[in-house]
Structure 1
Amino acid sequence: MPAVHLPDEIISEILSPALKVSDDAFSDTSLNSPFAGRYCESSSAFLLVCKAWLRVATPLLYHVVVLRSKAQAAALEKSLRGNSVLGQFIKKLRIEGGYGSSMLKIINAAPNTKDIFISINIWSADNVSGLVKGLPTMDPTRVVLCDSHHSSSRNKNSQTLLGTLTRCIQTEWKNLAVFELPFSSYYYSSGSLMAIGTALSQAPALKTVVSPAMRLYGLQQPPDHLTLIAKNPSLQRIVLRQLPANRFGAFGADLDGISQVFGHPSLRGLVKFPNPPARPHTPTPEPSSEPLQYSTESVPEEIWDRILRLAMTQNFENQEWSWKTQPSSRVWLVSKKFARLALPYLKESLYFQTAHKYHDLTSKLAIDPSLRSQVRTLYFHTNMAIDLRPIFGVHLVNIIGLTPVSVTLKVFSDLVKNCGATLVRLEGINVTKASTKPGDPAIFSHLTNIRSLSLGFKTPFASSTSIPPSTFATLKQLKLTNFDHSLMTILSQMNLPALRDALFPIDHVALDVFFAKHGSKLQTLTVALGALRLLNIFDICPAVVDLVVVCGNGIPDPTRFSCSVAASSLETVTFTTEGRIRGAERKWATFFDRLNIDTFPALREITVPCIRWPTTEHDIGKSHWARWAERLLDRDVKLFDGGGVNWRRRLKN
């Protein structure tokens, strides 16, 4: 097939959404940079597709340049030195630090830059020499300033940069028309803001000042720095920009308070108040007297049946699921045909959040026996007691307790006797210890088609050698949340040929018996930290591909994280932790510093939910998480946080 050659204009339209940096992101002056925490592939990868994409994408890539580290500045300086044309493409330059002498060369190589973003939150170790020399040579029309109200005093470098900036505003930048004050300026008039305000009051071409709209607490007059800026005779407007609602809860700005404060005579009517966001309006379509072009009568019922099956599917196991977000539950009201085709699917899976709704079902079962052959799956999401006996005889395929459903051994035995032959999933059932009489292991033989079993089983079992080894022949996934040690003895008498996934999220001394019999079959395994400490999991379960270790607040022992069989299949390891752990980086230091993954040649991912990735060059330099992630990447292993974000290598000097 011959290659398709698209015009450059079309390629540009295709690539622009991927390469474009929005002005809102470029001018965001909040302390948390919108470019922090981006761990996706660099947008420069688009340039590697082909020569046409390289030619079209290069100007798009260099149009807005964002610098967040010394290494990025050095790399850009090297690129501009090697190809002077690239600097001509730069129109906006966002500089979030000092970045040394490279900045002077970058500024000199980018004469068309008209919008600059400058941060005066400079660490004492930063070198601002390049910026201090380069800023006076620029001719911007718009400057965006980033500052922090947390800094009551400044180091020498930040003071030097601030002094250069005020001098440039006052005397050097003859075409500066727009100046945007930092996010922190809504808070109070700091010394830095007063210095900037003094310079802006004398800026020769200043037309517009953009300031965050404040949340006002009984102020009677505007901030001092704005009053000072308003003295500039060339100033035409002060635009108040709404604070992002997600930064400070649900508020944007107190518009009534703003009107009172900024109506002060000192501002001479310069202030332009923010407009409240308009509500989206959906026009009502005009009624048409013409018949529809395609009538539902001409569509075969087989097609509608397939469409409605998909429309009526409800993912009750999704934690974000809600009736309010599932309008498909009312699709059957569209017409009689839809009701006839859709209602059977609505009856297949039933979800109960209250005991009352469950009692409603049991009442209807007595009135309409046909429901017993239509209902297939029951989901329980309630903390109230549920009596399962009324559903005996229903042709159930799945019983799933999204929250544990507690039953006695007698009820459980009757359940599997009546429904066991059809059940494929039986999950979230907690069998309580109701008497001293031990259970009969023969009850499990009724579950002839079970594939997923999740139980809490505190009831002890009588010792038995008569249980058929073929019991649970179809069982693929087993989860035991709490159990008596005698259950392990029973399971060890079975063959469990289909078992691949096992979940034991609690410590238990009887697990060694189970693993000795079935460990070699397992591909996915969840165990508590205690089991990892006591058992040679990697040796007795050599086929495990995905391992989850329930750690809580504990830390795994690196000496137990090893395998004597070098051909281990392990690919992913997840250490579940309890959210944010105080001093997590320090506590995990022993594990990662002594971790040896040489015996896991297939290992590709390690996940630790308590990881908090650094987002600034200064924090990256101090972060042990970043150091450990870099070391693992040398072995082709990615380190993930709880959000599924893995560390990407950064440019280094």
Structure 2
Amino acid sequence: MVSILPEELLKEVFRIALHVPDHLFYDVSLESPFSFVEHSKSGLLLVCKRWLRGATPVFYETLILRSNAQVMSLCNALAAHRQFACLVKRLRLEGRVPEPLGEMAKRMTSLQDVCLAFNYTGVSAFKFSGFTKFLRALNPQRAAFVRPIGIHYSKSANVNKKICQAVSAWTNLTSLMLPYSGGGWSIWGETPLPDLLLDAVKALRHPLVLTIPLVDAYSLNAITKRLEELDALPRNVTIIFSMPDIHLVDLKVITSNIYLAQRNVLFRDTRNTYADRSLTDLSNTWDNNTGLWTNPLSNASPEVQSRIWEATIRAAMIGNKSSFWPNSWFQCNYLDHRTSSSLLHTSKFFSGIVLAVLAERLEIFTELTLQAALTVLQSRPQLFKRIRHVSLNIQSASAEAIQLISAASELRSLRLVLQAADGASSRAIYDAISLSAPTLQHLFVTHYSRPQRWKVRAVDAYDPDMPPACDLDGGDVLGSLDALTRLHWIAPHIAFRTAATDTTLSSISEISTVSGCDTFLHWLVGCRLTQLVKLKLLEGVGLSPRQATLDAEHGRGLTTFLETHGAKLKELHLGSGASFSLVQLNLCCSVTTLKFGNIVEPNILANAELTCLKVLIVEWLNHLLSPPFMALLNRLYQGLYPVLEELRVENSQGFWPSNESGTDSWQVVASEKLKARGVTLKDTNGHVWRSRLDIDNVLRRSGRVSGRRM
């Protein structure tokens, strides 16, 4: 099949497979879009010799170099095959620039696009001489300088000046992107790079397209004021302001800017479309009566347009953030109040949609905020039916909180954190929760018996000598929630007197609690829990230090629960302070995913009889290179857990600590040893760790350089 494909079809296959879109090539985000890819681009070169000859020219057109090892491999390949240098048309650098790359850049005569997406200042190990030699050898048509957000440098003046000297010598330059920052303008040190780049643009004296990335339109006035102060741009320069969701910005913010009215300015929406629009185009799509951006190609009815705008505003305010249900008992999802508050004052049409969207997710942390939210909802009673998710972190079960929960007839998720509550208010708020039984699917309850001081953990929340918070029966509350699928319960002082039945919590699939809730765990023994697959014991055992010493009582409810339901579990998450024994772990014999918050007792993992375990997640909050963790790795190398497929290492910072020694780092050693027994090593985000050895092996087999991350 490979040998009979015509050349024309092969070329189309290669161009589609190796194509890198412009929005990825010029990406300005902190995490590179090329950090982790599912398939190796160099695999096309390994099919056969015919594919190697046909794919090599297309392969070299766009090169993404992310490390010194890749740059050196490229230099070696170009030294052995000099004709390949003429094939390079686009080059994105995310690592350092070694000395040899400056020499090789002189041979890249077809180079048109350059994107420098790395920290080129402030690093002691950086060889700046190679970077300046590389810049002087270039003469691209389009160039982009990308800098991470919010990083300041104190010794960047000399670097910035030399960069701009090289840029001013680029006679073919037609498009330039300034460095990006979270505030919309990258200004560091006494000689900021954007100012110097503008001076370089002024020295070029030929038509140029200047792209300035912005976070939103609010930084537009500050940017234009800076441009006006510098007075560095000639009239033949076209300015493109790229920002997300330009259609959600009031046109007055743009048209009121005098500087923009005197210049050739375009606006690019980076979230929805990359088409550039001028001020005239924007004015033609603005309806002064409704205060809306209109679409002349759309003939949809007002109801359909309202739903479209509602979905658009919801995406703008919430975006791709985490779900409402928190990963741990203290996390919560915040809305973009800056965007929502600006839209509320745009028009009546917009304010109605914004209030409807905001009503879907209510996150309240103070009594004052609760009263304000309830006032707005009472002024528009129809908004109560829009409430889907409520998060209440308040001091006590006030009348306002009870009224809010009772009126939310379509409530789906409830997160309730009570710092202290008396018996009457507690009963009232749990009665309100029971009214939401037909629709409530997710319930998150953390109920303290006394007020908690700041930074006091849940480990101090329970004292066995204290009486119950009220005469409330937890069995009555949870027994009525038939639609519940996820339950989080930390309320040790609430007793469970009513016995569970076979139908109680029949739809529950996930339970999270602490081992101190013995009465709750004992009550769950009477439930069938036919759909239960996941158990989470969260950080902090929920017991006072004195109660934790009572071994006879401590953990009895958990053991009884696991004896009844442990064989059903497929996922088990243990927090950093969760008390768990080897006997209890062996009761979960069918677990396929196990997450440990801390390896205090490595022997528990080493001796557990988990024959079905496929995914092991270690959430390490301190230093990874500790004796318990290294002991676990050694046992995994020796064949612990025969069907294990994945080891994921996480920490609170979201990244792995590593040294600069390349193949000597523990990640490389671990990935090589684990790969030998069929186990994949992953990081916090679930991305596969690919060592430099993996890349070198592919390069060695193909005899060619790979310009992309494997």
Asked if structure 2 preserves the Cα contact closer than 8 Å seen for 1:561 and 1:595, the reply is no
TM score, norm. by length of structure 2: 0.55
* Equivalent in 638, 650, 655 of residue 613 of structure 1: 655
Asked if structure 1 preserves the Cα contact closer than 8 Å seen for 2:534 and 2:570, the reply is yes
**Higher-Rg member (1/2):** 1
SS in 1 for 2:227: coil
Deviation for aligned residue 1:586? 4.0
Deviation for aligned residue 1:32? 3.4
2:196 corresponds to 1:154:
no
SS in 2 for 1:151: coil
Asked if structure 1 preserves the Cα contact closer than 8 Å seen for 2:209 and 2:240, the reply is no
Asked if structure 2 preserves the Cα contact closer than 8 Å seen for 1:609 and 1:643, the reply is no
**CA 1:121–1:540: 2 relative to 1, 3 Å:** same
**CA 1:639–1:76: 2 relative to 1, 3 Å:** same
2:204 corresponds to 1:207:
no
Amino acid corresponding to residue 208 of structure 2 in structure 1: T
**Structure-2 residue corresponding to 1:447:** 502
Asked if structure 2 preserves the Cα contact closer than 8 Å seen for 1:141 and 1:177, the reply is yes
Taking only aligned residues, the RMSD between alpha carbons, in angstroms, comes to: 5.8
**Structure-2 residue corresponding to 1:547:** 594
Distance 2:605 2:178 in 1: 55
Where do 1:137-536 residues align within 5 Å? 137-146=137-146, 150-154=152-156, 158=159, 162-163=161-162, 166=165, 169-170=168-169, 173-183=170-180, 186=185, 190=191, 192=193, 196=197, 200-203=201-204, 206-212=206-212, 215-217=220-222, 222=227, 227=232, 230=234, 237-245=236-244, 255-256=254-255, 258-260=257-259, 263=262, 271-272=264-265, 274=267, 275=278, 281=295, 283=297, 381=414, 385=429, 400-403=441-444, 412=475, 428=487, 439=497, 443-444=499-500, 446-447=501-502, 485=518, 502-505=535-538, 507=541, 509-510=555-556, 511-515=558-562, 523-532=570-579, 534-535=581-582
Amino acid corresponding to residue 241 of structure 2 in structure 1: Q
Amino acid corresponding to residue 670 of structure 2 in structure 1: L
Asked if structure 1 preserves the Cα contact closer than 8 Å seen for 2:45 and 2:56, the reply is yes
Deviation for aligned residue 1:65? 1.8
2:662 corresponds to 1:648:
no
**CA 1:261–1:600: 2 relative to 1, 3 Å:** same
**Structure-1 residue corresponding to 2:112:** 114
2:568 corresponds to 1:571:
no
Percent identity among equivalent residues?
18
**CA 1:61–1:226: 2 relative to 1, 3 Å:** farther
Deviation for aligned residue 1:380? 6.8
Deviation for aligned residue 1:121? 2.0
Distance 2:624 2:405 in 1: 47
SS in 1 for 2:20: coil
Amino acid corresponding to residue 608 of structure 1 in structure 2: E
Point out which structure has higher relative CO (alpha carbons under 8 A, 6+ apart): 2
**CA 1:356–1:168: 2 relative to 1, 3 Å:** closer
2:668 corresponds to 1:630:
yes
**Structure-2 residue corresponding to 1:557:** 600
Deviation for aligned residue 1:71? 1.0
Amino acid corresponding to residue 569 of structure 1 in structure 2: C
2:102 corresponds to 1:61:
no
Deviation for aligned residue 1:253? 11
**CA 1:75–1:280: 2 relative to 1, 3 Å:** farther
SS in 2 for 1:255: helix
Distance 1:155 1:137 in 2: 22
**Structure-1 residue corresponding to 2:42:** 44
Asked if structure 1 preserves the Cα contact closer than 8 Å seen for 2:141 and 2:174, the reply is yes
SS in 1 for 2:206: coil
Distance 1:361 1:167 in 2: 63
Amino acid corresponding to residue 555 of structure 2 in structure 1: V
Deviation for aligned residue 1:238? 1.5
SS in 2 for 1:402: strand
**CA 1:509–1:112: 2 relative to 1, 3 Å:** same
**CA 1:280–1:130: 2 relative to 1, 3 Å:** farther
Deviation for aligned residue 1:516? 6.2
**CA 1:513–1:620: 2 relative to 1, 3 Å:** closer
TM score, norm. by length of structure 1: 0.59
**CA 1:481–1:18: 2 relative to 1, 3 Å:** farther
Distance 1:72 1:115 in 2: 19
SS in 2 for 1:633: helix
Deviation for aligned residue 1:73? 0.6
Amino acid corresponding to residue 502 of structure 2 in structure 1: L
Distance 1:76 1:575 in 2: 37
Amino acid corresponding to residue 647 of structure 2 in structure 1: E
Deviations 1:22-74 (A, max 9, x none): 3344345x583754644544433454456676555444432222323211111
Deviation for aligned residue 1:575? 5.2
Deviation for aligned residue 1:86? 3.1
**CA 1:71–1:10: 2 relative to 1, 3 Å:** same
**CA 1:219–1:54: 2 relative to 1, 3 Å:** closer
Deviates more, 1:492-501 or 1:194-203: 492-501
Count of equivalent residues: 518
Asked if structure 2 preserves the Cα contact closer than 8 Å seen for 1:558 and 1:594, the reply is no
Amino acid corresponding to residue 20 of structure 1 in structure 2: H
Unaligned runs of 5+ in 1: 231-235, 264-268, 288-315, 326-349, 363-376, 455-476, 578-583
Distance 2:223 2:560 in 1: 71
**CA 1:3–1:565: 2 relative to 1, 3 Å:** same
Distance 2:9 2:566 in 1: 57
Distance 2:415 2:683 in 1: 31
Deviation for aligned residue 1:208? 1.2
**CA 1:399–1:97: 2 relative to 1, 3 Å:** closer
Asked if structure 2 preserves the Cα contact closer than 8 Å seen for 1:489 and 1:514, the reply is yes
